[in-house]
Amino acid sequence: MILTEILAHKRQEVAEARRSLPLAELEAQARQAPRPRGFAARLAAPGGVALIAEFKRRSPSRGLLREAADPAAVARAYAEGGAACLSVLTDRRFFAGSLDDLAAVRRAVGLPLLRKDFVIDPYQVYEARAAGADAVLLIAACLTRSSLKELLALAEELGLDALVEVHTEAELDGALGRERWDSLLAEFV
């Protein structure tokens, strides 16, 4: 399964990043980053539909999409087109993205930015904030309930919003911190 391969590589990638830049230095960079722009607030703003536009070079399922694309130019076009927020793929191996792409987009537009990646470690939340993200994607299928809770708390501490991706009822229940509704209801019937 591709997710298993992605997560195995992501663990190696995070370990390499930790060796390259110690957590204490990264934390300091994250805490000195410009104030977050309010990703969730922008999506909830009145006026109807709030579009999240995405910058992505490659996909494991579709292959190469736009490898040589300039993230800043694409972001400016999305902003001019009416996007409320931008999602920037930062996974290098499977999506050909990077934190440099996120930083370039941050410099180019004033829209709130989501770091879209397979975030499995607090180190990556600090990376996101240091690179200028306003929100992080947390994929429930990649995380235990306790790690999801830990990452959500860290995101909140850093002023980041979190977009939690779920695909099943069990993932939803875990993300909401509750047991399955039918098991709860059974106790009262």
Phi-psi category of 160—alpha, beta or left, where left has phi over 0 and alpha has psi -120 to 50? beta
Would the pLDDT of 176 be above 60? yes
Asked if 75 contacts 107 with a C-beta cutoff of 8 angstroms, the reply is: no
Nearest-angstrom CA–CA distance, 130 and 139: 21
Pick the most confident of 142-151, 163-172, 180-189.
142-151
Would the pLDDT of 184 be above 50? no
Q: pLDDT tens across 12-69, in order?
A: 999 999 999 999 999 999 999 999 999 999 999 888 889 999 999 988 888 788 767 8
- Helix ranges (DSSP H) in the chain: 2-20, 23-32, 39-44, 71-80, 92-95, 99-108, 122-131, 145-157, 169-176, 181-188
State whether the Cα torsion 175-95-76-160 is positive or negative: positive
pTM: 0.89
- Sequence-distant (≥ 6) Cβ neighbours of residue 134 within 8 angstroms: 36, 37, 38, 39, 85, 112, 113, 114, 160, 161
Nearest-angstrom CA–CA distance, 29 and 125: 12
Let me know if domain 2-188 sits in CATH 3.20.20.70: yes
